[in-house]
Amino acid sequence: RLKLSGRELLCQLKEKVEVTTLTSDHQPFSALAWAPLLLPPQQLTSDLGPYKSCAVVSSAGSLRNSGLGKEIDTHDAVLRFNAAPTSGFEKDVGSKTTVRLINSQVMASDDHRFLSSSLYSSGVLVAWDPAPFFSNLTQWYNHTDYPIFNQYQRYRRLHPQQPFYILHPRLEWQLWQRIQDNMAEPIQKNPPSSGLLGTILMMSLCEVVHVYEFLPSRRKTPLCHYYQRFYDAACTFGAYHPLLYEKNLVKRMNQGSDRDIYNHGRVTLPGFSAMNC
């Protein structure tokens, strides 16, 4: 098996992975009464950006005491995940939120109070749901992992002014295929984590993307999230998601130095528009 260079991996991603969001032009949504009223008429990538520099802030416990907040906020756009807060953690993670990427479990579980919590009210929301392996939209619509569409409709009716997109699930499996094709061993058939999905999303909007504490720094810790007292090494290494393989791929694509990873947990990736393939 040929081992691709970082540049080659980046070009593969640019060529083979499509960052698409759902519109009512897609089947089966064209035939559903709610879809043209609630889904955005345009693609996320045509509504947002392009940005010069972007930050992707993982939720890792190693962000604690990082002091990275100021640096993160200097970016033109900042992406955060799921229920990760900024309030009370500004010193370490900053306060700007341009995009929040949430999985369908967060939308559906009672603990997160997705419909009412103010945590979700700033920035652009983007949701995703683990779709069956290479299914079409209709198959997925009938078998979502969590009730993403019910919750989406409810949220949109309560917060009609906030932009809210749903990722086309094709992205999950195109990305999964990039990971599998570049690993020697078979990986679990589960979609990549929000972390990798959000990184690719920002690579399609920005010239340069800095990803924080996706590859752990010297602050590496079994603490799962910077915002919760919960310890589990699987948060960093993965169980359901092929997280270790995702991290291996990002390590190979990193254009920054190993020092940046070690000291700041910082990876530097070029945006798709800035790449010469």
Binding residues vs ligand NCC (CB under 6 A):
58-61, 81-83, 103, 105-106, 193-195, 214, 224-225, 235-236, 240-241
Tokens 């040929």 belong to which residue? 2
Residues with Cβ within 8 Å of residue 69, at least 6 apart in sequence: 89, 90, 91, 92, 93, 94, 95
- Closest contact distance (angstroms) between CB of 238 and ligand NCC is 8
53 or 82: whose CB is closer to ligand NCC? 82
40 or 85: whose CB is closer to ligand NCC? 85
94 within 8 A of 57, measured Cβ to Cβ: yes
40 or 216: whose CB is closer to ligand NCC? 216
42 or 240: whose CB is closer to ligand NCC? 240
Tokens 């270790």 belong to which residue? 244
29 or 81: whose CB is closer to ligand NCC? 81
- Closest contact distance (angstroms) between CB of 155 and ligand NCC is 16
The whole-angstrom separation of Cα 195 and Cα 101 is: 9
87 or 161: whose CB is closer to ligand NCC? 87
- Closest contact distance (angstroms) between CB of 34 and ligand NCC is 25
35 or 209: whose CB is closer to ligand NCC? 209
DSSP the chain: -PPPPHHHHHHHHHHH----B--TTSTTGGG-TTHHHHS-SS-HHHHS--EEEEEEE--BGGGTT---HHHHHTSSEEEEETT---TT-HHHH-S--SEEEEEHHHHH-GGGTTTT-GGGSSSEEEEE--PPTT--HHHHHHT-SS-HHHHHHHHHHH-TTS-EEEB-THHHHHHHHHHHHT-SS---SSPPPHHHHHHHHHHTTEEEEEEESSS--TT--SB-BTTS--B-THHHH-SSS-HHHHHHHHHHH--S-HHHHHHH-EEEEE-GGG---
- Closest contact distance (angstroms) between CB of 110 and ligand NCC is 12
35 or 264: whose CB is closer to ligand NCC? 264
- Closest contact distance (angstroms) between CB of 69 and ligand NCC is 17
- Closest contact distance (angstroms) between CB of 130 and ligand NCC is 9
Q: Which residue is nearest to ligand NCC (CB)?
A: 195
- Closest contact distance (angstroms) between CB of 80 and ligand NCC is 9
